[in-house]
Copies of this chain bind each other. A is one copy, B any other.
């Protein structure tokens, strides 16, 4: 007999079926005992056969195989239950789970959830968030491939910090100092000279000693870079299409409800956008926060702007464009019409920065003067600068923080909740 997934039972009503999974829950009522069995995709309700006496001893999370008859049953979750089931134990489970998996919401502290990730991730609600993550990444790739992008894999061990060594993890590389890449920035730019349009999905590493609900020291970055742009607005249009595809994938996914996704996702196209200087005026006028001398926005300002975008534009997304050059890295292209401001942007989603991007410099001499101005030594960047000496088109790109995206979709209060095995100041395990 072929094994049937719990999510496929409705196609087998009236048949004898074989189900495998974990004992998710046992409900003993006066007349009947129900089992809830969880497999890799969902759960199903099971009524054991009258002579299946072993079901009372089985501990939660025991791996079992059962055979029974799939019966349409309106009161069962999913509309089907498996009756007259015989149960066989495939693999035992010790008593004393670190947290209950059967409750609708995860009822445990964040440290407990993270310390016991291998168990806590089995909770259907936690699992569902990562199913949405998977769906989002798949949609991201499809959206970029459709537009002619090539997926690339660039090194994570690098000789030179992308921007500065301050926030880089350092390692010993056969006796030489090396760093973990903060971003694939320099590589994806070099590869614009090869493929014109590239994307990468991979880990990035930040040795920032932040201890906040919105920072981690390792995360997954969805990067893209494209050649032959007019300016940053072409990059923003690309990001809009990618975010739109990711939003549809999350919204339409069967796991959206289970994950607690906050729907609908409001994305009018084009996304509303504000110049950085306008955003500061708005913060002063509407929220009484006079930050007009600051070169950046604080998290509270981003939240206010997110509220404003929803109120005025009914949009979950808001571009803030033209961040001051002083706060952007050396490869940033200035705004030709507004000295001091850049062709760089952030994308706020529900009041949190989830992506950053912009147009980059593309002429060798512009790199040389930008690096001179910032006192950045050119020698370590020789292999990068060579690309610009030998012809690079106007180009730009962006990076989306994957875990932040999922965090905002499901409304998690801490980024650690949407990271399988988070890495922070004090957490290296599991």
Contacts and interface: CB of A to CB of B under 8 A. Distances in A.
A364 B94 contact: yes
B90 A173 contact: no
Interface stretch (A112-120, A271-279, A308-316): A112-120
Question: Main secondary structure on chain A at its contact with chain B?
Answer: mixed
A40 B94 contact: no
Contact of A148 (B41, B156, B201, B217): B41
Quickly give the copy total for this chain.
2
Interface in A151-180: 151-160, 169-174, 176, 178, 180
A149 B152 CA distance: 22
A202 interface: yes
Contacts of A364: 94
A295 to B, nearest CB: 27
A237 interface: no
A160 B428 CA distance: 9
Contacts of A423: 155, 157
B93 A158 contact: no
Contacts of A218: 155-157
Contacts of A130: 150, 152, 194-195
Contact of A392 (B63, B174, B227): B63
Contact of A429 (B91, B92, B383): B383
A386 B190 contact: no
B429 A94 contact: no
A142 to B, nearest CB: 10
Most buried by B among A151, A170, A220, A363: A151
Interface string A88-111: 001111100110000000000000
A151 B134 contact: yes
Contacts of A190: 117-118, 121, 430
A138 B145 contact: yes
A360 interface: no
A5 interface: yes
Contacts of A148: 5, 40-41
A22 interface: yes
A78 interface: no
A195 B127 contact: yes
Given A39-B196, A40-B195, A425 B118 contact: no
B203 A383 contact: no
A362 to B, nearest CB: 6
Contacts of A217: 157, 173
A221 to B, nearest CB: 10
Interface in A197-216: 197, 201-203, 205, 207, 209
A241 interface: no
A185 interface: no
A391 B157 contact: no
Nearest to A197: B40
Closest 5 CB pairs of A and B: A383-B430, A40-B196, A93-B391, A61-B391, A118-B387
18 contacts: A5-B148, A40-B196, A90-B393, A117-B383, A118-B384, A119-B193, A121-B190, A138-B145, A152-B420, A153-B203, A155-B203, A156-B156, A156-B218, A169-B172, A169-B173, A171-B180, A190-B430, A202-B203
